[in-house]
Amino acid sequence: MATKTNLNIKQIADSIKNGKWEHLVDIEISYFYTEDESGKLKPDPSKRFQVRDFYINKDFVNEKVEYVNSTGDRSEIDIPTVINMPDGNQKLDDGSHTLDIERHLNYGKYGSGAYIKAYCVDYEKHLGGKDSNAYGLGNLLNIKTKEKQTATQDNIKNHFLQMIAEKNGVKLTDEESDDFVSWYQGKVNKHTLGQWYSRTPEGGRHCIAKEYTDTEKHEIQKFYSQMRKYRDYYVTFPSELEHAKTSILGSALVKAANATPQKNNILILLYCKNNEDTKRMTGKDGKGDSKWKTNLERDYSKVSELTNLNIEYEVLDWEE
């Protein structure tokens, strides 16, 4: 086993961001991708640590690629960070967008054999063999840095929940909470941590178990859009149940009208945020008969008749 280091993840992140981390390796870009059925490369989630909230913003990548191609200026592109795992494989901990930018910049020059430099962190030696430290390091490296999209609340919450899981549900100590808050530079406070903990099974506030990150919502929207059943539908981005008859409905009508070609069918995707929402779906007897559902379907029917559009809805699963 590798000898452990006394550095914490904040110190490691600072060392990397300041360019002082001494562990550099050559990585092959294609290693972190897999081929789809058409032979095109797509990110391989098994080779990346931020699987729970992983989403490539293609517009962001294209913008940076065009900038480098037109100016030759690569100063806004940082070095990615990989983690050496105990089984000998590597996982990308920071730099999904960096890697995609480099993939496009190197396309056609070196084929699948393009290599770039990456900072290397050892899972056992530097991170103490904990996934939570890997999540945390990736988040800290994504705050206010060059070509990165900053760490989101979902990213930070994933880090927090992983720490709780590794403590078998035990609440963070005051010292651990203070450290966690200091890592994220005002993005989170101890009250937020208390709210997050209260929504865990050990926290006592029995909120719904199933939650969806923004990345998962994007993937779900894409999944429904690609279904044969809904290929002629405008499919909305999943929204909370409380917006079913307000903002999401209005937005869907406008976007369907402006779609090319124009859409005459709309599928509104909804999800439950809390226990009150689940009761709206299951009814008081838990059998699915509720006044809320009846009224929603009646209102959607009336709007469909008025606009001559077919409006349907789906509610995402609220159970793990």
SS (H, E, C) the chain: CCCCCCCCHHHHHHHHHCCCCCCEEEEEHHHHEEECCCCCEEECHHHECCHHHCCCCHHHHHHHHHHHHHHCCCCCCCCCEEEECCCCCEEEEECHHHHHHHHHHHCCCCHHHCEEEEEEEECCCCCCCCHHHHHHHHHHCCCCCCCCCCCCHHHHHHHHHHHHHHCCCCCCCHHHHHHHHHHCCCCCCHHHHHHHHHCCHHHCCCCCCCCCCHHHHHHHHHHHHHCHHHCCEEECCCEEHHHCCCHHHHHHHHHHHHCCCCCCEEEEEEECCCHHHHHHHHCCCCCCCCHHHHHHHHHHHHHHHHHCCEEEEEECCCCC
Residue type, 70: S
What is the rounded average pLDDT of the residues 167-188? 86
What is the rounded average pLDDT of the residues 6-21? 92
- Report residue 180 as tokens: 């966690």
| Domain end marker among 120, 147, 174 | 147
Question: 23 and 121, same structural domain?
Answer: yes
Question: 222 and 107, same structural domain?
Answer: no
pLDDT score for 265:
95
pLDDT score for 229:
92
| pLDDT, tens digit, 9 for 90 and up, residues 112-135 | 568 899 999 999 999 999 999 999
* Rounded Cα–Cα distance for residues 200 and 234 (Å): 35
Q: Is residue 168 part of a domain?
A: no
The answer to whether 136 and 9 have CB atoms below 8 angstroms apart is yes
pLDDT score for 63:
75
The answer to whether 267 and 235 have CB atoms below 8 angstroms apart is yes
- 135-170 b/e with 16+ CB inside 10 Å = b? bbbbbbbbbebebbeebbebbbbbbbbbbbeeeeee
User: For residue 199, is pLDDT > 80?
Assistant: no
Q: Is residue 27 part of a domain?
A: yes
* Rounded Cα–Cα distance for residues 305 and 302 (Å): 5
| pLDDT, tens digit, 9 for 90 and up, residues 295-309 | 999 999 999 999 999
143 vs 223, higher pLDDT = 223
Confidence class for position 176, pLDDT limits 50, 70, 90: very high
- Report residue 95 as tokens: 């730099």
* Structural domain boundaries, residue 45: 9-147
Question: 138 and 21, same structural domain?
Answer: yes
pLDDT score for 202:
66
**pLDDT exceeding 70 applies to what percent of the chain?**
86
Q: Is residue 83 part of a domain?
A: yes
Domain total of the chain: 2
pLDDT score for 77:
87
Residue 80: asked if its preceding bond is cis (omega within 30°), the reply is: no
40 vs 315, higher pLDDT = 315
Beta bridge partners of 83: 91, 121
The residues near 178 (Cβ < 8 Å, ≥ 6 apart) are 190
What is the rounded average pLDDT of the residues 86-97? 92
Confidence class for position 4, pLDDT limits 50, 70, 90: low
| Mean pLDDT computed over every residue of the chain | 84
| Domain end marker among 147, 171, 195 | 147
User: For residue 111, is pLDDT > 60?
Assistant: no
pTM for the predicted model, two decimal places: 0.55
Question: 101 and 21, same structural domain?
Answer: yes
Residue type, 117: K
pLDDT score for 13:
94
Q: Is residue 125 part of a domain?
A: yes
Q: Is residue 178 part of a domain?
A: no
pLDDT score for 51:
47
User: For residue 105, is pLDDT > 80?
Assistant: yes
| pLDDT, tens digit, 9 for 90 and up, residues 235-247 | 999 999 988 988 8
* Ramachandran angles phi, psi of 252, nearest 5°: -65, -40
Question: 142 and 40, same structural domain?
Answer: yes
| pLDDT, tens digit, 9 for 90 and up, residues 272-301 | 887 778 878 887 655 666 888 889 999 999
Question: 130 and 14, same structural domain?
Answer: yes
What is the rounded average pLDDT of the residues 9-22? 93
Q: Is residue 158 part of a domain?
A: no
93 vs 246, higher pLDDT = 93
| Domain end marker among 147, 168, 185 | 147
* Rounded Cα–Cα distance for residues 200 and 89 (Å): 32
Q: Is residue 139 part of a domain?
A: yes
User: For residue 58, is pLDDT > 80?
Assistant: no
User: For residue 185, is pLDDT > 90?
Assistant: no
Q: Is residue 70 part of a domain?
A: yes
pLDDT score for 203:
64
The answer to whether 137 and 81 have CB atoms below 8 angstroms apart is yes
- Tally of residues, the chain: 320
